[in-house]
Structure 1
Amino acid sequence: MVEAWTAAQIREAERPHLEAGEPLMRRAADGLADVVRDVLRASSSSRDGRAGRILLLVGSGNNGGDALYAGESLARELVPQGGAVTVVSVGSRVHEAALAAALAAGAVLDDVEAWCDAAVVAGVLPAYDALLDGLVGTGSNGAGLRGDSLRVVRAVLPVVTGATWGAGAGAGVGAEAAAASGTRRNAGTSPAGGAAADGGATEPAPRVIAVDVPSGIGVDDGALPDPPYVLPADVTVTFGGHKVGLVLGPGAARAGRVVLIDIGIGPDLARMPPAVTTP
């Protein structure tokens, strides 16, 4: 049985802890970093022993801060071993303290414009082992991403879904629609499973790890925007309690495996009736 709460309920449960100065974001980031480590360990056989490379897509909200503090912890481990943590700031603002911490640990801030170019993304994204989707959090109502967030997701989707595999940069509207449908291809294979459609060698797509929720789903109902430009996650790392959109509607199918991180608000949520209870 899974109990899930609305975004408003989660915020209400967090409120007294934030007012008391408890480090909820750091707790969330520590749990997120642990899950990323597990994902990297599971995929280590495909990396020929090299250190992991992680891409952080960071929006303006608290989930962007969660991703950045997790990136700080991971960069301290990976960068000295020859790995990388790349930050792409997509929002109108960024959590300045978390960004400074990540950069001080060895992460690198990249230009968002390059990550809006589908041809550039197709060339560089397969070199990463994990992608953290920290674009939009519990403030999303399913109406869809906007601005650079939408541009980046449209450029990244074909790589993680394989919809343009072997088609090059000019894949066109049909391939983009297929990518937006959100079917996640298996890492390390083309859609056909084996050689790429153009006869070349396949490269693995990075594992997509959603920070709290897959960006763009309706957090309270699992709705998807039209068209459904949402990165399908392999793993969603959610904090404090399950959100309704992770267990209901088409948004739940984009969440992949959901990992719940305890940040200390469980007793507060237990005093609230869950919005949804699923088997």
Structure 2
Amino acid sequence: MKGWGAQQVRDAEAPHLAAGEPLMERASAALARECDRMLEGEGVSPAHARVVVLVGGGNNGGDALFAAATLAQQGARVELVRASSRVHEEGLAAALAAGATVVSGGAAKLAASADLIVDGILGTGTSADPRLRGDARELVAAIAAAKPSGLVVAVDIPSGIHPDSGEVPDPAAVLRADVTVTFGGAKAGLLLPPARDFAGEVRVYDIGLAADLEKLTPLVEVDA
């Protein structure tokens, strides 16, 4: 499996975004399908599932919110936990219109008992030091310490890992994913220790970037 750097993926995305291609729509649709697959694999009907979505302020949060809208339309009870004061407003509006609700108090306890937690806090736009901070760190650390009883899916990367190097500077505040749904191509950090132990099964969904990435030299190649 080839692993690409965050900047390589952004460079591959740029011409598609400039052309107005719906990359977020493709990514959120893939995420929603994967959530359905995971729930059904556990014998839980997506129409009756309880899903908690941790929402960050970037495009990762937007992907998670539009996927939340799809899940809510299917009948799932979807609860949104804002991990940032700034969120993707169009995605939030879509999720709320579909029946999702925003929760605040007791969010960690709610998440720990959900059928599925969607980690959409940080993605490849994270800084050189990817650790969570402030309220987001407190939230994730509390959920991790509670040992969630349901499944965890990470959007693009588990929040708190470095997308290129695989560093995990604050492991107590990283949710171990059962599945990481990553878009365009696998991020290099997902394939490297110690982050690969937090990523679970890495499932790559092409959103139209595969041909562009194949023109570049990946940061890492490992046996699948």
TM-score interval w.r.t. the shorter chain? Answer: over 0.9
1:76 is matched with 73
Matched, 1:58 2:55: yes
1:164 is matched with none
Q: Distance in 2 between matches of 1:160 and 1:127?
A: 9
Q: Distance in 2 between matches of 1:218 and 1:76?
A: 33
**225, 230, 255: which one aligns with 2:199:** 255
Q: Secondary structure at the match of 2:81?
A: strand
Aligned-partner residue type, residue 106 of structure 2: A
2:188 is matched with 244
Q: Secondary structure at the match of 2:152?
A: strand
Aligned-partner residue type, residue 99 of structure 2: G
**121, 144, 151: which one aligns with 2:131:** 144
Aligned-partner residue type, residue 93 of structure 2: A
Q: Secondary structure at the match of 1:224?
A: coil
Change (3 A) 1:109 1:275: same
User: 1:118-152 CA distances to partner (integer Å, 9 max, x unpaired)?
Assistant: xxx34x33541000000100123344110111010
Aligned pairs (5 A) from 1:7-46: 7-44=6-43
Task: Tell me, yes or no, if the aligned pair for 2:123 and 2:157 is still in contact at 8 Å.
Answer: yes
Task: Tell me, yes or no, if the aligned pair for 2:5 and 2:164 is still in contact at 8 Å.
Answer: yes
Q: Provide runs of 4+ in structure 1 moved above 4 Å.
A: none
Matched, 1:114 2:106: yes
Q: Distance in 2 between matches of 1:222 and 1:126?
A: 25
Identity over aligned residues, as a percent?
46
Root-mean-square deviation (CA), in Å?
1.7
Structure 2 spans left out of the alignment, 5+ residues: none
How many residue pairs match? The answer is 222
Aligned pairs (5 A) from 1:125-144: 125-140=111-126, 141-144=128-131
User: 1:153-181 CA distances to partner (integer Å, 9 max, x unpaired)?
Assistant: 111012226xxxxxxxxxxxxxxxxxxxx
Task: Tell me, yes or no, if the aligned pair for 2:51 and 2:116 is still in contact at 8 Å.
Answer: yes
Task: Tell me, yes or no, if the aligned pair for 1:125 and 1:159 is still in contact at 8 Å.
Answer: no
User: How far is the alpha carbon of 1:96 from its aligned partner?
Assistant: 0.2
2:90 is matched with 97
Task: Tell me, yes or no, if the aligned pair for 2:49 and 2:77 is still in contact at 8 Å.
Answer: yes
Greater Rg, structure 1 or structure 2? 1
Change (3 A) 1:154 1:126: closer
1:159 is matched with 146
Q: Secondary structure at the match of 1:128?
A: coil
Q: Secondary structure at the match of 2:213?
A: helix
Task: Tell me, yes or no, if the aligned pair for 2:55 and 2:81 is still in contact at 8 Å.
Answer: yes
Q: Distance in 1 between matches of 2:3 and 2:119?
A: 21
Q: Secondary structure at the match of 1:93?
A: coil
Q: Distance in 2 between matches of 1:125 and 1:98?
A: 20
Matched, 1:217 2:161: yes
Q: Secondary structure at the match of 2:146?
A: helix
Aligned-partner residue type, residue 56 of structure 2: G
Structure 1 spans left out of the alignment, 5+ residues: 116-120, 162-204
Q: Distance in 1 between matches of 2:47 and 2:189?
A: 36
Change (3 A) 1:147 1:41: same
User: How far is the alpha carbon of 1:211 from its aligned partner?
Assistant: 0.3
Q: Distance in 2 between matches of 1:24 and 1:227?
A: 30
Aligned-partner residue type, residue 114 of structure 1: G
